[in-house]
Structure 1
Amino acid sequence: MRFYAERPVRLAGQLLSDLVAITWIAAFCWLAGEAKSAVLQLQAPGHRMIEAGGGLRSTFADAASTASGVPFVGEDLAGALGRGGSAGDVLVDAGARLLEAIGLAATSVAVVIVAASLIPVLALWLPRRIRYARAAGQAVAMRAEGADLLALRALTELPHRRLQRIGTEPAAAWRAGDPEAIERLAGMRLAALGLRVS
């Protein structure tokens, strides 16, 4: 396989298309990072819930500790205040669940953006580059073996109007083994791929 042409104009076009594809993907990766950061900012209430829950739990624990020293009712009062600390635990748990859900949503948004950016690259750019690499690799191998196979490829793959530049019957000239026609056909096939004749 040969990924790049030998002729400067075709090579420049290929390099430009590769650069556009890479820039496209990089821009969408940056956009995905920005979108993820924006969604993660929604975690602020979750952090505040965790802090508030922890503070509430600590306050009830301190109050229960203090209440336990009250004569006659201290134990009952401390038990009731201790159970109030479970409200802080519920708040902490809710905040943690909120953080987890928002984190998952942020990652999902980033993945969707990157995946959406890859669709045109995988559907348009990559198949064309692979087709070119295969065709160019085969043409280079045929060029080393001689012009006959390249001429046959030109007959089967180039448009009829281009083939008529050689003459009205380019296939007949190839079958007859006309060396000039074969060389011109081979050159046309190589030129179509941006490759040098030799």
Structure 2
Amino acid sequence: MTLYSDFGPRRARQISGDVLALSLIGAWVWLGLTVYELVENLAGFGEQMEEAGAGFEQTMTEVGSALGGIPLIGGGIRAPFDDASGAGGALEAAGQSQQIAINQLATGLGVGIAALPIVMILVLWLVPRIRFARKAGQVRAAVKSGAGIDLFALRALATQEVSTLSKIDPDAVGAWRRGDEAVMRALAHLELKNSGVRLPGR
């Protein structure tokens, strides 16, 4: 697999694009984490509710138990404190529920804010880069085998503009048929340049 073009200008653009894409991904990850932390901080109120509810429940339970021990009137006095203890438990449960809800919201917002831009960057940047790397690797292997020069020259004859071919040889097709090595290498160079691969010796 070949990551970068053999040609300086295109290689510079590829490196710049890679740096920019990775920087943008890092920036979106940072933003997602920042949003997550900001929203998650709201869970502090839920923690306070939970602590307050637990403390109130425990206090009312202790008071009710203490007053319940009073002879004759203890049972009647204890009932309101037991009810208050239940209210404290409900407040504690509400605090826990709020923390869970805020955590889910923070996670959803953080992931949502970061994920969509990152996916778009990967589609627009990583997919073309992978295609280039695979194609360049395959083309480089064909060039090294020594069997692909005439094939790439033929592809250049089929795909390049006539004006471009004429600059190499007025009768480029005839030169290819004759097996003119210089013309074939020049034609192959045109085709290979699109894949970012330089012919050996150029």
TM range (shorter): 0.7 to 0.9
The 5 A counterparts of 1:1-198 are: 1-144=1-144, 145-146=146-147, 147-158=149-160, 161-167=163-169, 170-171=172-173, 173-198=175-200
Worse overlay, 107-116 or 118-127: 118-127
Structure 1 residue 132: Cα displacement: 1.0
| Deviation at residue 158 of structure 1 after TM alignment | 4.3
Deviations 1:105-135 (A, max 9, x none): 1111111122112232222112211221122
1:175 CA displacement: 4.1
Q: In structure 1, how many angstroms separate the alpha carbons of the residues matched to 2:175 and 2:69?
A: 113
Structure 1 moving runs of 4+ over 6 Å: none
What one-letter code is carried by the residue in structure 1 that aligns with 2:111?
V
- Distance between the aligned counterparts of 2:3 and 2:56, measured in 1? 65
For residue 67 of structure 1, report the CA deviation from its aligned partner. 1.1
Check conservation: 1:139, 1:150, Cα contact below 8 A. no
Counterpart CA distance in 1 for 2:114 and 2:158 is 40
Q: In structure 1, what is the Cα distance between the partners aligned to 2:162 and 2:120?
A: 31
For 1:160 and 1:124, the matched residues in 2 are separated by: 32
Q: How far apart are residue 161 of structure 1 and its match?
A: 4.8
Alpha-carbon distance between aligned partners in 1 of 2:34 and 2:171, rounded to the nearest angstrom: 61
CA distance in 1, matches of 2:19, 2:160: 28
> Could you state the TM-score of these two structures normalised by the residue count of structure 1?
0.88
- Of all paired residues, the percent bearing the same amino acid is 34
CA RMSD of superposed structures (Å): 2.1
Q: Any gaps of 5 or more consecutive residues in structure 1?
A: none
Amino acid at match of 2:52: A
Q: Between Structure 1 and Structure 2, how many residues are aligned?
A: 198
CA distance in 1, matches of 2:176, 2:156: 10
Change (3 A) 1:86 1:113: same
Q: After the TM superposition, which of the residue ranges 102-111 and 181-190 deviates more from structure 2?
A: 181-190
TM-superposed CA distance for 1:159, in Å, is 5.0
In 2 relative to 1, CA 170–86 (structure 1 residues): closer, same or farther, beyond 3 Å? farther
Q: Secondary structure at the match of 2:2?
A: coil
Structure 2's unaligned 5+ residue stretches are none
Aligned to 2:4, what secondary structure does the other structure show? Answer: coil
AA aligned to 1:140 is R
Letter in structure 2 aligned against 1:178: D
* Cα distance in structure 2, aligned partners of 1:197 and 1:121: 32
